[in-house]
Amino acid sequence: MPVEYLKKATLTSSSGASDVKEIVSKILDDIEAGGDAAALEYAAKFDQYEGNVLLTAEEIEAACAVVPEKLKSDIRFSHDNVRRFAEAQKATVADIEYEVVPGMTVGQRAIPVDAAGCYVPGGRYSHIASAIMTVTTAKVAGCTHITACSPPRPGVGVAPAIIYAAHICGADKILAMGGVQGVAAMTFGLFGLPKANILVGPGNQFVAEAKRILFGRVGIDMIAGPTDSLVLADGSADAHIVATDLVSQAEHGYNSPVWLVTDDRALAEKVMEMVPTLIDDLPDVNRENAFAAWRDYAEVILCADREEMAATSDAYAPEHLTVQAEDLDWWLDRLTCYGSLFLGEETTVSYGDKASGTNHVLPTSGAANYTGGLSVHKYMKIVTWQRATREGSKSVAEATARISRLEGMEGHARAADVRLAKYFPDETFDLTADG
């Protein structure tokens, strides 16, 4: 029996998207050619800010001083949770060595990238948590230089709470520059910064496109689309909590999809009845975003049973996945495609977004089918090495020579031949492709 859509989206995340590639490409080309001066011109145009772009220690100290103590305490709490979780993640990757055949040893090393560029959105919302998520993980990974970049507000500069968060989490430099020009400054090493090896952090469509274009020259965490969230709920769920959670994620943006998947029609109908009232109760900007997201992108899907619910969820591969249903261990074992999973009504996506310790930079637009979110591992290169005794290289050299000749790669074969001839001059080897 096919699933039943009690509410169907009229738009998708790509609906109405403008082609920004040409605009972003031109900005990147201009800044790469024009350097600091070109970046400052774009900053004056788009950020409408002409203050100091690379914050001094005195400016950082002054900004930190105006952050309320309670907020500082909350930021430190979140930072501590994110740091400890990142440290636990890092402990899962170790340098190893292994003797594959007697005398031939291979191994791996986990080496952090040198310079990380962390983009922290600061337009409609001041993403304090993004500074915590991106800078902390880079610091735990062992990056030797971390730049935090955030758009300044006209005549004001970067939000003091973002500066405080970036500072205590370990940013070496804080750049007051937004959008493509900020991404370019970190990539090209402007204003005395080292060239970034990796760019991380969420941003608008122009930031996302800049990262897409620059990928290859630098590493990136992922190419992000609008944030999305899915709730799996059965008849045991609290409709008010389900509805509240959906609205809480819809406020991200007008095109942020939220989905409810359930096997209980009464719950679905109650949630659909409650959501508009909860949206109406939000502040103006949040209400506009949530209303549009719910109207155009939200879906409510009725399934026959929990297996069909799980299969539907895996097909959507949501960025955020919440389960408010019985037998949470079953769902944990069954579900396979999501950015981050929130089990039970006692937790919520908002916890992960802000303070529980897991990272909120996550795959969107179905990318959870093939990748996870930002973690300490994204800043680390897993590289391999090998060494051998002469006797240990013998069998490997023979196999290498024959496989290479079968492939038609004679030069590769001779690199093995010459070693066999040097190390074992009194022995004869059959190194032909059909040997």
Pair (213, 76) in one structural domain = yes
- Tell me the pairing of strands 104-112 and 96-101: antiparallel
> Is residue 266 domain-resident?
yes
pLDDT tens, position by position, 269-328: 999 999 999 999 999 989 999 999 999 999 999 999 999 999 999 999 999 999 999 999
Pair (316, 215) in one structural domain = no
> Is residue 67 domain-resident?
yes
Contact 192, 54 (CB under 8 A): yes
pLDDT tens, position by position, 317-357: 999 999 999 999 999 999 999 999 999 999 999 999 999 99
> Is residue 4 domain-resident?
no
> Is residue 6 domain-resident?
no
> Is residue 3 domain-resident?
no
Pair (329, 293) in one structural domain = yes
| Number of structural domains found in the chain | 3
Containing structural domain, residue 414: 389-435
Q: Could you say which of 320, 326, 360, 410 is catalytic?
A: 320
> Is residue 14 domain-resident?
no
320 classed as catalytic: yes
Contact 420, 398 (CB under 8 A): yes
Residue 17 has pLDDT above 70, yes or no: no
pLDDT tens, position by position, 119-137: 999 866 678 999 999 999 9
Give the pLDDT of residue 285. 85
CA distances from 33 to 27, 39, 219, 336 (A): 10, 10, 21, 45
pLDDT tens, position by position, 218-227: 999 998 889 9
- The strand pairing partners of 111, in sequence order, are 381
What is the mean predicted confidence (pLDDT) over 92-114? 97
Q: Could you say which of 127, 145, 251, 319 is catalytic?
A: 319
Q: Which amino acid is at 41?
A: E
412 classed as catalytic: no
pLDDT tens, position by position, 248-279: 999 999 999 999 999 999 999 999 999 999 99
Pair (356, 406) in one structural domain = no
